[in-house]
Amino acid sequence: MQKNRILSFLPYLIVILAVMSLFTMNNPGRTSQLSYKEFQTVLKEEKITKSALSIGDNITTVRGVYKDKDDKSVTFTSTIPSTSASIEETIEKLEDSELSIVDAEASNLFIDTLISLIPFLFMGGLAIWMVNRMNGAGSANNKAFEFSRSRARLEGKVRVRFTDVAGCDEEKQEMAEVIDYLKYPKKFEKMGARIPKGILLCGHLGTGKTLLAQACAGEANVPFYSISGSDFVEMFVGVGASRVRDMFKKAQQTAPCIIFIDEIDAVGRQRGAGFGGGHDEREQTLNQLLVEMDGMNDNSGIVVIAATNRPDVLDPALLRAGRFDRQITVSLPDRNGREAILRVHARNKPFASDVDLGALAKRTPGFSGADLENVLNEAAILAVRHHSDEIHLAHVDEAIDRVMMGPAKVSRTYDDKTKKLVAYHESGHAIIGLYLENSVVVQKVTIIPRGQAGGYNLMTPKEEKMMNTRNDLLATITSYMGGRTAEELFFDDVTTGAVNDFERATNIARDMVTLYGMSDLGPIKYDSGNENVFLGRDYNSPSNVSGQVAFEIDQEVRKIVNECHDKAKEVINAHRTELERIAEALMEYETLTAEQIQKVVNGESIAEEFAYKKEAAPAETPADTQA
C-alpha cells in the first residue's frame, strides 16, 4: 500500500524537477546583472572571455563570462541599445572573445511561453493533488458507486495445465471438448453442435474441481473470469443481481471466454427453502443468474463452469439442460489415479530409493487428491525436521498417520495395565483382518496415542470395489467389533476405547437396514435419521417411518451388530495364541506393520528389524521432542 502511494506522487515529482531544471538552465549560479556603465568598463578592460548577443528591436541583451580582480570567472548579463553604432562598437570589442549572435525571438519564444504557463501548471497540479486527497479521504463514498459492480477477477496467465491434473482422465476428456470448441468453433458448428452453456463440477471434497477448472482455462487460452458464490451475496437486496448482470456484460465484451463460479451452492440454493418470502437477496441473485445463462438474451460464447460439493441443495432450474448442460462428477481416485496424483506432487521432492509410490497408492484408499498432496508435503516437512537430504519411507509412513489421526503423542505414557489393554484391543482388530474372509486388512497397528485415540489401526480393503456386498459390510462391522471383543475375552472387563468403533459399526448397520435393503425388513428405503435438515424444505415434509417401523429398524440394527459381535468372538477364540503374540509384540515394539504382524503370527522374530531401525534413526532434535 505504501509503495502504491509513492508511485501515485511520482508524476508530480517529475514535473517539479523538470521545472526546477529549466530555471536552473536559464538562471545559472553567480550571474551578475551589469549596468550599461559597468558593462562598458568591463568591455574596455577586455576581460570578457565568452559572450553572446541577443539582438532585439529596441534592446540587445549581452550574456557572457569575464575575469574579475581575483581572476575568477563571473557570469554576467547586461543590456545595450539596439542602435547600429552601439552594436557595431560592441561587436568589435568582443571579437577577441568567443562571440556568438543569437536570434532574440527564436531564443525566447519557448522560454517565455513556458514561464507564462508555469503558474497554470502549478495550480493545476495542486488542484489534482487536492482532489486525490479528497478521494482518498472519501473512499468509502466512492465505493458506493462501485458496490454493484462485478467482483469477478480476470485472470492473467493461468499456468495450470492438464498435465498438472491427475487421477481424473474421463473428466479431463469432457472438459477438453469445451476447450476444443473455444479454439475451433467452426468444426462443431459444421455438425450443428453448440457450445455447452454451463458445466457443473461436483464431487467429494478435495478431488480437484477447482484445479480442473484452472487447467481448462490454461489450456483454452481465452479470457478467464473467476468468482466465488459468496461474492454475489450482500446485505442489500438487488446488489447480487446487479453484479451478475455486470459480470455477464463484461464477459460478453471478451467472448469467447470462461466464467468460473466456485462454491456455487452459496448463491444457487433451492428457492423457497427458507421461511421468508421470495424477495430476499439470494433468490434475487439466483433469478438473475438463471436469466443470464438462458433467458431472452443470448450470451453466446460464454461458458460457465461451476464447482460445488453439495449438488443436492441446488435449485432444479439451475441444473436443467440449457443452463448447466453437462454435470461432471469428480470422484475419488482409484489406485492408478492415486499413483498418478502422487507422481505429480512428487516432481519437486527428492525421494529415497525405498519409497515406492505405487505401494503408497495401494495403502491410501479413499484419499482425495488434496489428502495425497498433504501427505507428501508432511513427509517433506518431517524430512527437514530430521535434517535428512531425502524423503524416506519412514517419513511417508508417519505423514500418512498424521493426516489421518494427527501427530503421535509420544510424551503421553501408559501404565502397564492400560498399555496391555490397548495392545490387546488393537490386536483384536488385527486378528479379524487376518482370519475373516472379506474383512479389511490391517496395514499398520500402533499403541502410540494419536488424536483422541489411545491406539490406531490402518485398515484397508483387500481390493478396491465399485460396490460392496452384504458379506463385505458384515465383515467390516466384525472388524470394528474385534477390539471390544478382545477386551471382554482376555480381561473380563471393557474400556471406553471402542466408542469410535461402535459409531462406525452402527452407521454401517443402519445404512444396511434403511438404505440398502439388506435386512429382514425388505428392499425398502426408510428415513435414516442422519440426513442434514434443509431448512424449510425438510421441517414440514412428512416422515415415511411409523413408530412401529422405527422400532423394527432399531431391532434389525441391533441384530446385525450382535451377530457381528458373536462372529468376532468366534474368530478370536479360534486364534487366541496368535492374538497374544501380536499383543506382546505391540507392548515391546509399540508399532507393527502388516509384514511384521504376519511374521509375529508365524512365530518369527522381528527384533533385528527394530534394532536396525534404532541404529539408523536420526538423533532427536528439540523440535522432535516437542512434536
Torsion sign (Cα): 127, 131, 132, 133: positive
Q: Rg of the Cα trace of the chain?
A: 42
SS3 118: helix
Nearest in space to 197 (alpha carbons), one of 123, 46, 298: 298
Distance CA 485, CA 566 (A): 9
Query: Could you tell me if 328 and 202 are in contact, meaning their C-beta atoms sit under 8 angstroms apart?
Result: yes
Nearest in space to 389 (alpha carbons), one of 426, 352, 433, 348: 352
350: which 3 cell numbers? 527428492
Number of helices (H), then strands (E), belonging to the chain: the values are 23, 14
- Calculate helix-pair angle for 576-589, 470-491, nearest 10 degrees: 70
Region of 418 please: left (phi>0), alpha (psi -120 to 50) or beta: alpha
Q: How far apart are the first and last CA of the chain?
A: 38
Whether omega for the bond prior to residue 256 falls within 30 degrees of 0, making it cis, is: yes
Distance CA 78, CA 62 (A): 5
Query: Could you tell me if 370 and 212 are in contact, meaning their C-beta atoms sit under 8 angstroms apart?
Result: no
153: which 3 cell numbers? 477477477
Nearest in space to 266 (alpha carbons), one of 239, 234, 226: 234
Distance CA 603, CA 544 (A): 56
Distance CA 134, CA 119 (A): 22
Distance CA 494, CA 487 (A): 6
User: What one-character DSSP code corresponds to residue 83?
Assistant: -
Distance CA 178, CA 219 (A): 10
Cell 437477496 locates to: 281
Which amino acid makes up residue 359? A
Query: Could you tell me if 431 and 459 are in contact, meaning their C-beta atoms sit under 8 angstroms apart?
Result: no
Catalytic residues: 426
